[in-house]
Structure 1
């Protein structure tokens, strides 16, 4: 796998190789991207016709990177007579300062060449190797290169200029330079991208953060967010590093919505720099105890785009919460249904869960009252369109067999739902965690109805429905001879009997009978599911198990954070701590940044967690994982106007202190120590 380096700010991000180069490709997501379009697909530097090699990279900041390069092969570095520094940043636009250093005692003539190109590929075209249908033109004027793409009213543009004189052609810029002995030469390259709207205006310029801004302004904005978060003091370095990295990545992953002009949390780089129903909701749940002010824009955006009609192409139904929102060419021309797309069965109950949890932390009753119609519509969807077979369960089956998602649960790859022997069921499917989410949504909505909507009759009805669902679920999904819950029911009501991590989500939802919780925990932490680094998505004795299969054997950090929360809910504090500890151990091998997923190899087979080949990094719900683990270890739970703190810190982790936890109670501190830790507090 090619090692990639990324920078991002707001709606724009750049992905390159370790030299800082971007090479045109429809099979790998390198390039300069904004609003789902690639504005640079070629950005390759040569010195005297030779490619450069990386000596070192400074990527401490999310929005800028510095590459230290030398010509020739790595074995020749000691004899290098010159070196190159590429300092780049995303500051609204993309800027790169290019410096050539002469290390000899004589003047040297160099030829510096930058190959430049833009294919204006939509992210879906890159992902699925589709060719463009519009026309790209390149023009040279005023020492600048302008690249333009048009397809009917769809219009995008990239303009590249340099502060130093250059020979500009339609494929790039060439600089013939003289550098004196032990001197240097510098030019600054500026790349502006334009997203044209229907009236010919630059859409990005209308957004509060859309224009160019200084690096100092970006740094100050990100630091202001980080400073608002609770302060962590602890003896565990992996936890400290992961917490710090998570806050930095959360600050960087915010982007601006064209629809509302507010900052939202993007799901992940490079594929998912947009709003995702499920991902955004779960990330919000993880982040809520730390930065609650980040949550309302996501809630309001999801509520504002709630389904209103039946639209087979978009899998839209009244009351349904969206799955994914895109702004690119394929969505605009309805070659993909993502404008927005509603193909997830879990985002709707999760929306209700988030809204209730948000109020429990913040006391924002006004928002609960304001969104009463949207919550009622979501509950109606669960009982009507969501219950495809009229059995009282939440099912899914796409309305769009050509381009809709087959699996509309969080494990949404094509082979994620299977029987234990590897066969796959037909549609519709009712996966187990969907029923847990629906149960929890009804319990929480009952509280909202009784407390805020003055509708106790509706609350009573929801509680009766939830109780009936729990009883029915524990009868129909439980596999008595194996003592775990089936992954799903098929269309005939038969159990899809694979052993998966989904059963951990059932603990989080509260739908598991108390008498069965212990057996569920045994499976979750047993050798078939637990790798030593975390709980696998699929047990290793199942037919489709693959330790590097996307949803059929890998370990997902967010999945494990939800499972740890479920273990905590049922009182399995030691086991929850074990998951927290292994996740934090794994984070240390990724410089504190947990990836989207890593391989399900057993810990005794590999001395470190092996990253999934195309994992997003940073990814929002992986970034939020250390925060939720911290909540679990400290036992943080809102109760009325108070925050309950009931810590159970894993052995050997020492002191964990979280100061200024925000909520309806103001700000409070939490302190936990693992057993055996000296009771003296640090000054």
Structure 2
């Protein structure tokens, strides 16, 4: 994403090069997208037959960008007699104001050409280079170009209109213009994306913001959300910058669901602008202390789409929480199982964890009572379909060998789960963090049953099951000679012995025996896993380690935020601070926006975090990372009707003030200082 520029507003986003041009690509999703379909695949500007080059660019806001351009090669800039400004915004539709400036002392004629194309590619077709099955037609009218795609009932349109007269053909628009001396010429181009339903209606017209919004309306709406968040004052500029960026990105990533017409947080740009069970839950856990009102739509959407049948194609089972929901052509024609797809073993216990955490912060008991059937169904799934081998552990193996996910934990790439020597285990697999999530889900569900459902017998049973799971887990997964927990058990019950960041999730869940926590922490902060910028996904001496491998050596900010939370839970506050400090230091090199992942090179080797080439940015659970780190550093924990504040601010970070923290207690303030800062000991 380094050489690309994106703008987004909920359902619609655009990715171009740094001159504002879009060219067809099946390597990376460049173009104008909405609801998993590419509506513009070509958008290339030329002046007198020449491409334009960037002088400067303003991309400070998520929904609009301004490009300052000059025709010709960069060596010609000093003699350029003209320049171009492309001002674009997105809000349902895409608008670009194109201005040509004549800097000479005489009238000049220009030929302005905009190459326009639409391939209506589905995101999965871009990922896997699939060919279209439907038919695209092009129609030309005065100052308007219309692309129409049909495949049976699947119907999409792209309509491009110009405010100034143009010669329109099937592949673009041409403007033959005269610009007076020191004058300028402007046209406004509007690109409408139309998503038709089965009855021929524009589906988005039924949504609250389906007709689109102006840039000013988007700005006001986003600012209103940011203003509702707690106010941060601190001495640490990377923390201040990351917090501002996180709130801005959370506002930008919200989108409208076609299914229910509610606002949800998309998982990430560009591949994941939709609802993801695991990603949405983790992001919600990070965000709930700051903007709790964003959480109920996600919980209710996941509950409403909870599995209710056995469907091998979609990996669906009764009680299971979805993995991913898509709206594109391949999902609609069941060429992909994402309508929705249920291929994750962790989203179901995480769903229970989120519901409990949300109530502990907000006191929203009505939602807890309303969702009792869904929580019970999720617990039933853990004990039945989730326990594939009947061993009392949570396992996974896809029901759909042709298009289902092989790995159904958060590290879901094909080679993410391996033995220390790099060999891959067979299926089913029971990764360690799944057992931690199941343990935590049962402990939390017991509280819900006892407090809200008046079912102490069920609560007692859940607590017994959780205690038994913890005991068995600490026997079966612990590798005594190495002092850490196995990544997984294979189908024969043997330990998959790779050293990975997953053991940090075990601390967060509480399943680790207190006597073993110190050894786990030692590995997490040791040189094999800790790069200096964060905890790697896989230790550097393991067989499949690759510092730029997706799940086999990179550093994931979200992963590190959960690990820091786990360290805090077990009382390792200084160690949690090391991760917080490393993440915030890394954020400086990404303009405050932590990406999906970055390379696992050691800090003393690179002096700066190396970008992962295709990382999503912004990505929701990376966006939520600075928020969770703030919670950890300030020691924020709900306790009944009160918020416990027990700060442990890392050395050198100085003062942190978080004002108006929302919750069942109303709004409270938290203050923390690092012990080396002026004023002495940490305060609250």
Normalised by the shorter chain, which TM-score bucket? over 0.9
Q: Which residue of 1 aligns with 2:575?
A: 575
TM superposition shift of 1:74: 1.6
CA distance in 1, matches of 2:186, 2:21: 18
Q: Which residue of 2 aligns with 1:636?
A: 636
CA distance in 2, matches of 1:331, 1:92: 22
TM superposition shift of 1:333: 0.1
- Please give the secondary structure, in 1, of the residue aligned with 2:585: helix
TM superposition shift of 1:675: 0.5
Q: Which residue of 2 aligns with 1:316?
A: 316
Q: Which residue of 1 aligns with 2:23?
A: 23
Q: Which residue of 2 aligns with 1:156?
A: 156
- TM-score by length of structure 1 reads 0.99
| Shift >6 Å, 4+ stretches | none
Contact 1:10 1:209 in 2 (8 A): no
- Residues 41-68 of structure 1, C-alpha deviations (whole Å, 9 max, x = no match): 0000001101111111101111100000
Q: Which residue of 2 aligns with 1:549?
A: 549
Q: Which residue of 2 aligns with 1:246?
A: 246
Q: Which residue of 2 aligns with 1:203?
A: 203
The question of 1:116 aligning with 2:109 is answered no
Task: Show the 5 A alignment for 1:561-572.
Answer: 561-572=561-572
**Unaligned stretches of 5+ in structure 1?**
none
Q: Which residue of 2 aligns with 1:32?
A: 32
After superposing the two structures, state which structure 1 stretch, 105-114 or 274-283, moved more: 105-114
Q: Which residue of 2 aligns with 1:349?
A: 349
CA distance in 2, matches of 1:461, 1:483: 31
- Residues 152-200 of structure 1, C-alpha deviations (whole Å, 9 max, x = no match): 0000000101011110000000000111111110000010110000110
TM superposition shift of 1:679: 2.5
CA distance in 1, matches of 2:422, 2:534: 22
- Please give the secondary structure, in 2, of the residue aligned with 1:59: strand
CA distance in 1, matches of 2:143, 2:65: 26
TM superposition shift of 1:676: 2.4
Q: Which residue of 2 aligns with 1:478?
A: 478
Task: Show the 5 A alignment for 1:645-664.
Answer: 645-664=645-664
CA distance in 2, matches of 1:398, 1:299: 25
- Please give the secondary structure, in 2, of the residue aligned with 1:385: coil
Q: Which residue of 1 aligns with 2:588?
A: 588
CA distance in 2, matches of 1:265, 1:147: 30
Contact 2:143 2:164 in 1 (8 A): no
CA distance in 1, matches of 2:508, 2:77: 54
Task: Show the 5 A alignment for 1:153-232.
Answer: 153-232=153-232
Contact 2:142 2:168 in 1 (8 A): no
- TM-score by length of structure 2 reads 0.99
Contact 2:533 2:609 in 1 (8 A): yes
Contact 1:2 1:17 in 2 (8 A): no
- Residues 544-586 of structure 1, C-alpha deviations (whole Å, 9 max, x = no match): 0000000000000000000000000000000000000000000
Q: Which residue of 2 aligns with 1:490?
A: 490
Q: Which residue of 1 aligns with 2:539?
A: 539
CA distance in 1, matches of 2:56, 2:512: 52
- Please give the secondary structure, in 1, of the residue aligned with 2:671: strand
TM superposition shift of 1:539: 0.2
- Please give the secondary structure, in 2, of the residue aligned with 1:60: strand
Q: CA RMSD in A?
A: 1.0
TM superposition shift of 1:518: 0.2
Q: Which residue of 1 aligns with 2:131?
A: 131
TM superposition shift of 1:212: 2.4
Residue-pair matches, total: 682
TM superposition shift of 1:122: 0.3
Q: Which residue of 2 aligns with 1:106?
A: 106
**Unaligned stretches of 5+ in structure 2?**
none
TM superposition shift of 1:91: 2.1
Contact 2:411 2:551 in 1 (8 A): yes
- Residues 407-458 of structure 1, C-alpha deviations (whole Å, 9 max, x = no match): 0000000000000000000000000000000000000000000000000000
Q: Which residue of 2 aligns with 1:367?
A: 367
Contact 2:82 2:101 in 1 (8 A): yes
Q: Which residue of 2 aligns with 1:54?
A: 54
- Residues 3-58 of structure 1, C-alpha deviations (whole Å, 9 max, x = no match): 11000112111000000000012222100000000000000000110111111110
CA distance in 1, matches of 2:401, 2:316: 14
Q: Which residue of 1 aligns with 2:337?
A: 337
Q: Which residue of 1 aligns with 2:146?
A: 146
- Residues 323-373 of structure 1, C-alpha deviations (whole Å, 9 max, x = no match): 000000000000000000000000000000000000000000000000000
CA distance in 2, matches of 1:606, 1:175: 49
CA distance in 1, matches of 2:64, 2:204: 20
Contact 1:489 1:495 in 2 (8 A): yes
Contact 1:195 1:203 in 2 (8 A): yes
Q: Which residue of 2 aligns with 1:307?
A: 307
- Residues 599-626 of structure 1, C-alpha deviations (whole Å, 9 max, x = no match): 0000011011011110000000000000
CA distance in 2, matches of 1:128, 1:369: 44
- Residues 523-543 of structure 1, C-alpha deviations (whole Å, 9 max, x = no match): 000000000000000000000
CA distance in 2, matches of 1:151, 1:604: 55
CA distance in 2, matches of 1:212, 1:550: 36
The question of 1:447 aligning with 2:434 is answered no
The question of 1:617 aligning with 2:624 is answered no
- Please give the secondary structure, in 1, of the residue aligned with 2:243: helix
- Residues 119-176 of structure 1, C-alpha deviations (whole Å, 9 max, x = no match): 0000000011001000001110122100000000000000101011110000000000
TM superposition shift of 1:2: 6.1
The question of 1:64 aligning with 2:84 is answered no
TM superposition shift of 1:380: 0.3
- Please give the secondary structure, in 2, of the residue aligned with 1:233: strand
- Residues 237-285 of structure 1, C-alpha deviations (whole Å, 9 max, x = no match): 0000000000000000000011111100000000000000000000000
CA distance in 1, matches of 2:143, 2:290: 49
- Please give the secondary structure, in 2, of the residue aligned with 1:94: strand
Q: Which residue of 2 aligns with 1:465?
A: 465
Contact 2:529 2:538 in 1 (8 A): yes
Contact 2:596 2:619 in 1 (8 A): yes
CA distance in 1, matches of 2:497, 2:55: 52
Task: Show the 5 A alignment for 1:270-309.
Answer: 270-309=270-309
Q: Which residue of 1 aligns with 2:397?
A: 397
- Residues 631-655 of structure 1, C-alpha deviations (whole Å, 9 max, x = no match): 0000000000000000000001000
